[in-house]
Amino acid sequence: MRHDDGTLAYRALMPDDVIACVETLGLQSDGRLLALNSYENRVYQVGQEDGPPVVAKIYRPGRWSDAAILEEHRFAAEAAAAEVPVVAPLVHEGRTLHIHGPFRFAVYPRRGGRAPELDDLEALTRIGRFVARLHAVGAAGRFAHRPPLGDVATGVAAHEWLLDEGVLPSHLRAAYESLCDDLFIAIRAAAGRAGPVRQLRLHGDFHPGNVLARDEQVHIVDLDDCGTGPAVQDLWMFLSGDRYEQEPQLAALLAGYTDFRAFDAAELNLVETLRTLRMLGYAAWLARRWDDPAFPAAFPWFGTPRYWEDHVLSLREQLALLQEPPLVWRGD
């Protein structure tokens, strides 16, 4: 597919644009739109005249190639065909990725629910089962156009970009640079302790907000960040609190996971590595997107001296955690 950059049109996206995209697929909107919680793409629930609402995702220009988006769609479709509760895009005339004017978009069935509670160990066990089943699908193929996940190079690139762009306050720059040098040493050491770990296709951004639970029914959404990495990438974001709170959560997740798939306990050495890389990447992501009007409105606290002071403090805490023993799983 060929398409124009469309950045200006994307930033000025209007409700009529979203409706026009959906209606090119033969769906008749009733004019009701609800913006859903998404910043990297624009995502709307769109009411239909004859049928339930659908969800339209308008892709941010320049972020993914068409080939990478189609790999995401195929992975979701493979998982859904294997009865993993992944919400896959609708197919229209044999296609899942569509173009209308400057916009690339996909349409999904709407699924309801709310994020699970992390102190509900039974819910975590069910989630562990779903993750294992998704990983069984992921292990059966490869991505050619999606990125590696959990790679220290991504953290290095994020911190170098922040330094090169002069985003940090001058009084924190030296401390941040020195701290990141120590973090990358600790991250590489943790990777050494983990040893070679199996890489597979993953959800990539699997956190409670991307799980919709209602009673016993669960739906997994938003594979926009899917990529290749270790299995623990799709588990660690369900761990919260100190290690004494996290270890029962981990045990519940892996009790469900290992019902369907083996788990390599060596990957637990990577939990704080992945958390640190996400923190570094998140700060750079916000800074890179700051010229998008949606970001200052949604994250008004970002970029203030207090934000950067807290960020450096959090990274210091991560350095200490990286030097502690990994979480203990007694099921291995």
Tokens of 77: 């479709």
Are residues 188 and 328 in contact, defined by beta-carbon separation less than 8 angstroms? Answer: no
Are residues 70 and 12 in contact, defined by beta-carbon separation less than 8 angstroms? Answer: no
261 phi and psi angles, rounded to 5 deg: -155, 140
The CA distances from residue 173 to 151, 277, 309, 326, 327, in Å, are 24, 18, 10, 30, 32
Coil/strand/helix, residue 275:
helix
Residue 57 pairs with which residues in a beta bridge?
Answer: 43, 106
Catalytic residue among 66, 119, 182, 205: 205
Coil/strand/helix, residue 92:
strand
Catalytic residue among 17, 222, 224, 234: 222
The CA distances from residue 122 to 160, 248, 326, in Å, are 42, 11, 23
Coil/strand/helix, residue 54:
strand
Are residues 234 and 134 in contact, defined by beta-carbon separation less than 8 angstroms? Answer: yes
Are residues 93 and 73 in contact, defined by beta-carbon separation less than 8 angstroms? Answer: no
Coil/strand/helix, residue 194:
helix
Coil/strand/helix, residue 41:
coil
Are residues 202 and 135 in contact, defined by beta-carbon separation less than 8 angstroms? Answer: yes
30 is catalytic: no
**CB hemisphere CA count around 282 (13 angstroms):** 14
Give CA–CA dist 228/115, Å, rounded: 25
Residues serving a catalytic function are: 205, 222
